Amino acid sequence: MNDTFLRACRGEGVDYTPVWIMRQAGRYLPQYRRVRERVDFLTLCKTPELAAEVTLQPVEFLGVDAAILFSDILIPVEAMGMRLRFYDRKGPVLSRPVRTLDDVRRLRLAAPEEGVPFVLETIRILRRRLKRVPLIGFAGAPFTIATYMIEGGGSKSFLNTKALMYSSGETYHALMRKITDMTITYLTSQVKAGVHAVQIFDSWAGALAPDDYKAYSMPYVKETIKALKPLGVPVIYFVNNCGGLLEYARAAGADVIGIDWRVDIGSAVRRLGQRVSVQGNLDPCALFSSVGVLKAKVADTINKGRRARGHIFNLGHGILPETPPDAAKALVEMVHELSSR
């Protein structure tokens, strides 16, 4: 197995900069859309043979250095007893949002083998079929999961989440306690089923003021990462919109900090120091550049990333559905070529 990705996570020497792409199994790929013509998104997540198939699609087509389990961060939330639906334009909707201590008490903590057996089965299939590169498992960060549970879906202002934090701290922290316990159990079960690394997605951390991030998100991520340490797999912590948060995010103790494109990776490396690897951070829109512009951006990201303990090249956010598949393929080749020693 090509372990370049895992070596970069740990800060060990590599022959080139490894690369994978957030949402690399997704709508921009015609082969993915063909599978989705047959099943809806949730069914796809819950059908191990199909979830494994779409996980493998970009590994073969793009030549990336890691696969990431096809699933969604809200899958384990459904197993906690909330009704989950996905709409093409509106995104996820969770019925009966969590707003009171009673709502929190009603949430179940099922064993993953009972609540989300299909996720673990997908991992087992992938461990048999995926030989070339490591497999990444993942979960949402507790704060990010909490926003969906409190808002009942996506949000622009996160007003309900923050109002709960600022005026009903007991309820907020009780909910975070429960989500954190779920997340630890969930990620542990993924590692035991065979993933080689895990990524924790804090997609909405960047909606918090830094002091609030420090009080309301980071401690729960830190606890999650600490619980995973004995399992010995690298933990990537993706902090979206991290410009104001990097110093605090570092304290969560991940092996790798994933950063979005709104910070300069050189400046991020300086702020994060040499005890952590960095993942990122090309603007997903850069895949719509002329070749010369793209090449300059990729070279700059690689060169700045070299100053980190370890660098995994990635986009700074999920690849856009409008992206031409060949542009993604060309990106992967470019990263390999430009970074080879």
Active site residues: 23, 27, 36, 72, 148
Which residue's CB is nearer to a copy of itself, number 158 or number 220? 158
Smallest separation, CB 122 to a copy of itself (Å): 29
Site for a copy of itself in 306-335 (CB under 8 A): 316, 320, 322
Residues 6+ apart with CB under 8 A from 326: none
Residue (of 68, 226, 178, 46) closest to 133 by Cα position: 68
DSSP symbols for 274-340: SSSEEEEEE-GGGGGS-HHHHHHHHHHHHHHHTTSSSEEEEESSPPPTTS-HHHHHHHHHHHHHHH-
Contact letters (x/-) for a copy of itself, 24-63, by CB under 8 A? Answer: ----------------------------------------
**Contact between 288 and a copy of itself per CB under 8 A:** yes
Q: In 3-state terms, what secondary structure has residue 140?
A: strand
Residue (of 219, 217, 225) closest to 188 by Cα position: 225
Site for a copy of itself in 216-275 (CB under 8 A): 241-245, 261-264, 267
Site for a copy of itself in 150-209 (CB under 8 A): 157-159, 162-163, 166-167, 206-209
Rg (C-alpha) for the chain, rounded Å, is 19
Separation of CA 221 from chain center: 13
- Kind of pairing, strands 256-259 and 277-282? parallel
List 294, 302, 315, 332, residue binding a copy of itself (CB under 8 A)? 294
**CA-based end-to-end distance of the chain:** 20
With contact defined as beta carbons under 8 Å apart, do 5 and 18 qualify?
A: yes
Q: How many residues bind a copy of itself (CB under 8 A)?
A: 38
List 102, 290, 340, 341, residue binding a copy of itself (CB under 8 A)? 290
Only one residue has tokens 């949002």, namely 97
Residues 6+ apart with CB under 8 A from 88: none
Asked if omega into 281 is within 30° of 0 (cis), the reply is yes
Q: In 3-state terms, what secondary structure has residue 264?
A: coil
Smallest separation, CB 82 to a copy of itself (Å): 23
Task: Tell me the C-alpha distance between 117 and 115, whole Å.
Answer: 6
DSSP state of 153: B
Residues of this chain that bind a copy of itself (CB under 8 A): 157-159, 162-163, 166-167, 206-212, 241-245, 261-264, 267, 281, 283-286, 288-290, 293-294, 300, 316, 320, 322
